[in-house]
Structure 1
Amino acid sequence: MGSFSDRLIFLWLCFVSFTDATSTIEQKLREDPDLSEFLAMMERSDVVNITLSSRQATIFAPINEAFQKASYDPSLKNDDRLVKYHMLNLPKKTSQLGSSNTHLISDLEGNPPLWITHKSEKYDTAIYINNARILLVQSNIQAKNSRNMEQILHKIDEVLVPVVTRTIGQTDLYSPNAWEFIDNYESWMNIKNHRIRLFKEQILFHKKQEIFKTEGGHTFFIPVDDGFKNTKAVDAKVIDGHVIPKQVLFTSPTEKGENFQTLANSDNIKVHVAFSEETEGKSTMIYIKSHTLYGDKKGVVIAAIKQANIPVRNGVVHLIHKPLMVVDQTVKQFLELNKEKEDGPLSKFCQEIFHSEVLGKEFMNVIERSKQITLFAPTNAAWDESNLQNLLKEGSKIKDVLTMHLIPDEAVYIDRIANKEVVQKGTYNSKKNLFFSVNQNNHNRTFMVEGGGVMANIVQPDIAASNGVIHVIDRVLGFPYTTIFDKLKYDSTLNDTYVLGARTRVNELLNDTSRKFTYFVPSAKAWNQARLDLPSAIKKVFMHEYIYQAEQILERHLVVDEESYTMQKLKLMGNQTKGVDLKTIRDNITISVEEQNNNSFIIHWQGKKIQVFRPNIECTNGIIHVIDYPFVDKGDIVVSSISPLSITPHLLTLIVAKYLLL
């Protein structure tokens, strides 16, 4: 081998070749046209360039689109502080960034944190820095500077905006906690002229500063001054309801609709909050909803987030347009406010109310007169049903529909529906009742309301008003849009009858819109009760070998005539002594109808009293009456030693002929 000097030259050439082969961060940025905005910002900063040339680093580089949608003080674009908030002084791959609710120390003076959130998705786990998503496929880009120090580049989809003072040099105000942010709100750049003086005064009055100073990671909701109507309503409990402890929740990674416990959590009060997202016209709004489960005033209060995702040393701050938990509007004011929002999520419902001056005035008078009221408000999408558009042209029908969405003189909260304390209620439309049910699917519960043949999901329950409660629903009540077949198919409480009809040929009739049906449909509870009373017979009704007998029983429940019959009409057609003969698919059936004081009905059939659980469910081809016991008797299925499958040719011929004539 050569001399020592030759070997030294060889090693030096290898070193030079190695460092030349490794690009610097600046070169990596130049190679990516999608990072040109961030590169230009870096090049304007001498401090950043010197820093990158002298030590290790991690860079979170926003893509160009992130700058186009960012809303921050324009002067920050030429401010070293913005760039430095995107840097760490150690190289970290995405696997080294930490878990949710932990933070990294940024390179900005005062070392304000960069908060980490992991969000589980269908195929992988997304990682967020504050509210910016790391573009994982385009990240973990390794580089070395001229001193051979490791540096790592990650691409992100949003600009990271720190809390900084309007005047550079006020180092004592770097990296504020939530209380320091509130206490010095006029000093911060990029707060969009929002004032939070009134909430600060209530915090001081009730001596609640410490909850905003608590170390760790928390989420704080701060109402701006413009939304205050009554400062005295913001007491110590309400202030507690504006803090989610031990969780740092930025808007993008936080699951919408998930409930989070606030500091308002004691034997006397319990308040959850959840984020939601609504499309209004071409824009998307983020809301925060407080739900007081029990306390002075139950219900949901919804506040729009005016400025989201403000990072502080002990978590994140969201500025909201009004205080949470404080019920400061009547049902009337709720409707008037939503009427003014042309692209608001409930604007179409409000427009229909006020479209007719007479109807609107009557509707609002009922709301004003009632000390307590329950309103069901359909979303805008609910009004897009094509057949509904024709109804809107008929003034008398729209009145019947709208008045069905109103329960006067009572506030029906969702917990009463959940506990089955309330299963039906009369409406302002005196001829129509509403029926409530709960669908349990694993740990998820769906609350439903039915009126006039329409089953609607309650998509936002318990919006609180000072004189009642509002539930947002996904369909317009009182306007049938399905056949009897579809109603049975999609109503879980009628599933047993649907399954039985599918095994026979009865269901095939129920999509026919050229005929008028009246169908007495036993509920799931009805069949369960019959199983207890007639265990052997009902068991066989649902067995394949007894399809013919099952078909006979179902046909007894299905009336076909020139018109469909409401319970009121059936009552008028006969009397309790004589009854009324109805032509069913099978043969005739004689019943009598008794109306009770609470507007419910009892059917008398063969000595039995059968309660009508849900009367007058309108469909496009008839009416359903849900009954709590089937029209079945123990003599309907006679089991002999001969197999039920042993049918004579003559009987088989009769069965085939019957169906050919249908």
Structure 2
Amino acid sequence: MMCARLTTIFLLLIVLKRREAVLRKLPVLKYIAQHDDLNKFYSQLYMSALSRSSLNYREVTVFAPVNEAFRRFGGDLNQNLTSYHVAYNAYRLRDLNTYLEPIQKGLPPLWVTKLNGDIYVNNAMILLSRSDYHANNRQDNLGKPQVLHIIDEVLDPIATNLENPQSAYDFLRKSKDYGVKKFVRKIEEYKLEDLFNEDGGNTYFIPADEAMDEYKSKMTDSYIIKAHIIPKRVLFTRPVPKNSIYDTLADVDYIYILLSFLNEKDRYYVKSNTILGDATHQNGEIKSEIIHANIPVKNGVIHIIKRPLGVFDKILTKFPYLPILDKLSNDPYLNITYNLGEKSGFNQLLSQPKKFTFFVPKDQAWSSLKNLYDYDKLLRLGYMNEIKKVLGRHLIVGDIPYSMETLYNASSSNCVYLKTSSGRACFTILYKSGDKKFVIKWNNIYIDVYKANYECSNGLIHIIDRPLVTNSDYENVPEESGSFLQLWNALHKILTS
């Protein structure tokens, strides 16, 4: 009997000791303060009154990024940031599932993914060995349970100062930072807004405007739009099995498009595979780079991609049957030259009953300019005369067109003077036998010919890797031409980089 009493007393002492140990554990806020590699997050907590009060008075789960995560973070450090790292209710690792609601009204959910024994919140990995710290915020009967998990990336809510979390459609329609207006217009044209508003958690891929040329926009129909949605799966780039195949909403009897993720040299891509197609939807694969990844929204995640999925490049008619202007307007790789020609009036020259030799810079040749300068502003009429002169350097008008072989034989090691629309100019044509490519020497600049001798009904096109622009253009800019000076500033950076 005595032995039984002693056993009971001993067990009671163990229970009391354990309870005392729990009560003496540091509250989460103080625990964070004592760890040097969490001090950046701790300092951010004090910028947010909501985060501080929640840790002092509420039952919460906290996701604390390590200092290194803040060093890599390129987003805004605002008051909403820490609020997006604190969720209602206390969730141990074993309890984490699907999504959590952050304490800040208007922010998107925190999406949870479990993969191969690891746990992610949005795109951040939870450091399991350091997580699952739990304690009450007060050491009395009024204390609320709280849990801390340590993560390796900062969670970026993107959207700020909102009354309610944004759906994918709301975000795309209102966003001015990602350049996706053309795809949004296609969504609205086919009245598919509900697919981007529906609950349930989807993954959305949205092509950037730059890739949505006239042809690709025309080919983007309701099936292609649906091929950019993986339903009922919220897939961030890190916690997704690479090369796994996912169904899209483009899944009908005669159109069937699948998607998969790829990771190559630290870049993420999405690949579409049209398994079943028709005359408009060609079978085959298209790979598109993810250029803005992991944008959380109320109903899933958005990835901005470099080109639309399921839409192949236009197969052009052989050019003897096309005049040069039609070639330019239909070729998706020559859009910039065509658009500048339209706005400046230069393209009217191509309607003359003449034969032309046209050195056309491909879009990629203008891409540095597009990165340095707002391309939409280039199309304002303020300096169209100057742009017309620049384009005129690329055009030779005559009775016969000149092939690259003809120009090469005429120039040899010396230059051949050609009459361009902007005046007489000296060209020397060289040939790289190893690469089997022609090179144009113009004003001591060497320019590769990307593709020579495109035949057209009224002449020849030679696609080149750089516009015909020099440093002297920059130096001789009229001072009164302010907007044009900005253009040449951008060009000067290209020439000197």
Q: TM class by shorter-chain length?
A: 0.5 to 0.7
CA contact (8 A) 1:56 1:151 kept: yes
CA contact (8 A) 2:246 2:260 kept: yes
The CA distance in 1 between the partners of 2:124 and 2:90, in whole Å, is 19
| Runs of 5+ consecutive residues of structure 1 not aligned to the other structure | 1-12, 187-192, 342-353, 370-662
The CA distance in 1 between the partners of 2:241 and 2:192, in whole Å, is 29
Partner of 1:266 in structure 2?
252
The amino acid of 2:310's aligned partner reads: M
Deviation at 1:322, TM superposition (A): 1.8
Partner of 2:82 in structure 1?
83
Partner of 2:296 in structure 1?
311
The CA distance in 1 between the partners of 2:119 and 2:18, in whole Å, is 36
Structure 1 residues 135, 19: closer, same or farther in 2, change over 3 A?
closer
Helix, strand or coil at the partner of 1:49: helix
Structure 1 residues 14, 119: closer, same or farther in 2, change over 3 A?
closer
Structure 1 residues 355, 48: closer, same or farther in 2, change over 3 A?
farther
Structure 1 residues 368, 327: closer, same or farther in 2, change over 3 A?
farther
Structure 1 residues 245, 15: closer, same or farther in 2, change over 3 A?
closer
Deviation at 1:366, TM superposition (A): 11
The CA distance in 1 between the partners of 2:227 and 2:23, in whole Å, is 58
Partner of 2:72 in structure 1?
69
Which residue, out of 138, 142, 146, partners 2:130?
138
1:33 is aligned to 2:36? yes
Moved segments of 4+, more than 3 Å = 13-20, 329-334, 336-341, 354-358, 363-369
The amino acid of 1:177's aligned partner reads: S
Structure 1 residues 163, 364: closer, same or farther in 2, change over 3 A?
closer
The CA distance in 2 between the partners of 1:39 and 1:159, in whole Å, is 13
The CA distance in 1 between the partners of 2:36 and 2:257, in whole Å, is 48
CA contact (8 A) 2:213 2:332 kept: no
Structure 1 residues 217, 58: closer, same or farther in 2, change over 3 A?
same
Deviation at 1:162, TM superposition (A): 1.0
1:290 is aligned to 2:272? yes
Q: Deviations over 1:32-80 (max 9, x none)?
A: 211111111012222221221112111011111111112213xxx1x32
Structure 1 residues 119, 17: closer, same or farther in 2, change over 3 A?
closer
The amino acid of 1:322's aligned partner reads: R
Partner of 1:150 in structure 2?
145
The amino acid of 2:201's aligned partner reads: G
Structure 1 residues 253, 339: closer, same or farther in 2, change over 3 A?
farther
CA contact (8 A) 2:135 2:147 kept: yes
Deviation at 1:195, TM superposition (A): 1.5
CA contact (8 A) 1:229 1:328 kept: no
CA contact (8 A) 1:163 1:175 kept: no
Deviation at 1:182, TM superposition (A): 1.6
Deviation at 1:135, TM superposition (A): 0.6
Partner of 1:324 in structure 2?
309
The amino acid of 2:436's aligned partner reads: L
CA contact (8 A) 1:291 1:301 kept: yes
1:96 is aligned to 2:95? yes
Taking CA–CA contacts closer than 8 Å with sequence separation of 6 or more, which of the two structures ends up with the larger relative contact order? 2
Helix, strand or coil at the partner of 1:181: helix
Deviation at 1:328, TM superposition (A): 2.3
The CA distance in 2 between the partners of 1:358 and 1:111, in whole Å, is 54
| Runs of 5+ consecutive residues of structure 2 not aligned to the other structure | 1-15, 317-330, 334-361, 368-430, 439-448, 456-497
TM-score by length of 1: 0.44
Helix, strand or coil at the partner of 2:254: coil
CA contact (8 A) 1:221 1:320 kept: yes
Partner of 2:212 in structure 1?
228
Match runs of 1:116-515 below 5 Å: 116-120=112-116, 125-146=117-138, 147-165=142-160, 168=161, 170-171=162-163, 174-186=164-176, 193-230=177-214, 231-279=217-265, 284-295=266-277, 296-328=281-313, 356=433, 359-360=436-437
The CA distance in 1 between the partners of 2:191 and 2:126, in whole Å, is 40
Structure 1 residues 364, 25: closer, same or farther in 2, change over 3 A?
closer
CA contact (8 A) 2:88 2:100 kept: no
Aligned length: 319
The amino acid of 2:301's aligned partner reads: V
Structure 1 residues 143, 367: closer, same or farther in 2, change over 3 A?
farther
TM-score by length of 2: 0.59
Q: Deviations over 1:231-282 (max 9, x none)?
A: 2121111101110111111000112222211111112211111111222xxx
Helix, strand or coil at the partner of 1:328: coil
Match runs of 1:480-559 below 5 Å: none
CA contact (8 A) 2:48 2:80 kept: no
The amino acid of 1:160's aligned partner reads: L
CA contact (8 A) 2:48 2:83 kept: no
Q: Deviations over 1:271-316 (max 9, x none)?
A: 111111222xxxx221111111231212222221111111111111
Q: Deviations over 1:492-532 (max 9, x none)?
A: xxxxxxxxxxxxxxxxxxxxxxxxxxxxxxxxxxxxxxxxx
Helix, strand or coil at the partner of 1:91: coil
The CA distance in 2 between the partners of 1:364 and 1:15, in whole Å, is 76
Structure 1 residues 357, 340: closer, same or farther in 2, change over 3 A?
farther
The CA distance in 1 between the partners of 2:75 and 2:311, in whole Å, is 31
CA contact (8 A) 1:196 1:222 kept: yes
Deviation at 1:213, TM superposition (A): 1.4
The amino acid of 2:86's aligned partner reads: M
Helix, strand or coil at the partner of 1:199: helix
The CA distance in 2 between the partners of 1:136 and 1:116, in whole Å, is 14
The CA distance in 2 between the partners of 1:152 and 1:355, in whole Å, is 66
Structure 1 residues 28, 338: closer, same or farther in 2, change over 3 A?
same
Deviation at 1:330, TM superposition (A): 6.6
The CA distance in 1 between the partners of 2:246 and 2:231, in whole Å, is 9
The CA distance in 2 between the partners of 1:195 and 1:340, in whole Å, is 18
CA contact (8 A) 2:259 2:272 kept: yes
